[in-house]
Amino acid sequence: MTLPAHRVRAVTVTSILVVIVMLAGLTPALLLAQPVTSNVAPIEETSEVEIDFPRGLIIQADLAWESTGSMAELELLYSVAGNETETLVFVPYEDADPGNSVHADVTIDLQSWFVPAGVAIEYRWRFVEGQEVIAESEPESAMWFDNRWDWQAVESDQVRVHFYDHDDAFVQQILDSAQSTVTELEERYILERSEQLEIWIYPSSKDFQSAQRPNSRDTIAGAAYPDYFLIVAVIPDGNARELRRTIPHEVSHQILFQATDNPFAYPPLWFNEGMATQFQTGGTDGYMEMVVRAHQSGALFEIGSLDVSFPYQPAQATLAYATSWSVVEYIEVTYGDAGIAALIEAFATGMPYDEALLSALGVDSDELDDHWKAWIASPST
């Protein structure tokens, strides 16, 4: 049989659904119930994967198992970059006689549900009859990347850089900058060894923009995806200034995410961006003068207003970055590397911000704000 077209849909199960159900007073297992897996037959699979960039992956597979029940539904489950969440796609197929293979042809849509290029997609097949899984394949993996270009790669201990149309010597500088930033962060703040970072470098904004999320702003020159240990950025060949600004900044985000990852909370945005701007070289000229002027005119942000988001307007956004940079600078000057390390450790527990600040620095957010502003106003600053 051929399943009707309207049955082809994708469903992503996330922890958000669990929260919604719990708030409604229901049992999460009722909503998230999975088919029972008992006496599951193995599926023998032969498949071909084609990249249809930027739309997604086309998978054609011949699937064979011991018996094809007339009521069995075929499902494809896939995950991104080792993420535990799987997306479920119902796949139509032509019925087969018992013992014969079934041919499946499906497109995984990675554009509508945007998945950045440069990650591995793991997928598996299963036949489900009623609420019982009756056959299942072993997981397979395919690389999702922007195949319009002839990519090359170089790597160090904890970083791999993918590139095209770049000079080899310049790419080595990118790799060295990324690895040295990882090493410095880990050593200065006594962090556990990070996972390998994947950095994909485009030589032009035009190439980069065409690979980004639909309707992205044209001004975006880079993107970091900490869940995937992925950085995508524009660095024109030979542009050492952009290298020094972009690579340490984005690598800092990645390492800080790994060091503080927990199920409850992220570090405040001012700390995240303040750390990243501290590690970049260039792009922060005039930040302290900007913060001092804003303080003198009464226009300076309170630290707590930058916990979650920055303003959208360019001038205010720049002041937000400068503010965050200066707060981390104050913490570094006052408490040293040990203070930063203690904050990272506290944020990693997921405790509320005030508790984390009290635990690490002995002050709450209001006291930190007061002390930081007094430091800004000091003639010696």
Q: Under DSSP, is residue 116 helix (H, G, I), strand (E, B) or coil?
A: coil
Tokens of 77: 């489950």
DSSP letter string, 236-272: -TT-HHHHHHHHHHHHHHHHHHHHH--SS-PPPHHHH
Which pLDDT score is estimated for 96? 64
d(CA 210, CA 201) in angstroms, rounded, equals 14
Q: What is the pLDDT along the chain (381 residues), one digit of tens a residue?
A: 323 332 333 333 333 333 333 333 333 333 334 565 557 889 999 999 999 999 999 999 999 887 655 678 999 999 999 888 999 999 998 766 656 688 999 999 999 889 999 999 999 999 998 889 999 999 999 999 999 999 999 999 999 999 999 999 999 999 999 999 999 999 999 999 999 999 999 999 999 998 988 877 766 778 889 999 999 999 999 999 999 999 999 999 999 999 999 999 999 999 999 999 999 998 899 999 999 999 999 999 999 999 999 998 999 999 999 999 999 999 999 999 999 999 999 999 999 999 999 999 999 999 999 999 999 998 776
Domains of the chain (ranges plus CATH)? 5-144 (2.60.40.10), 149-261 (3.40.30.160), 263-381 (no CATH)
Tell which residue, 148, 173, 146, has the closest CA to residue 159. 173
pTM of the model: 0.84
Computed on alpha carbons and rounded to an integer, the radius of gyration of the chain in Å comes to 25
Which pLDDT score is estimated for 178? 98
Cβ-contact 171, 163 below 8 angstroms: yes
d(CA 201, CA 193) in angstroms, rounded, equals 24
Q: DSSP assignment, residue 160? A: E
Which pLDDT score is estimated for 36? 56
Query: 314-348 and 168-188 helices cross at what angle (nearest 10)?
Result: 50
Which pLDDT score is estimated for 381? 66
Q: DSSP assignment, residue 33? A: P
d(CA 197, CA 261) in angstroms, rounded, equals 16
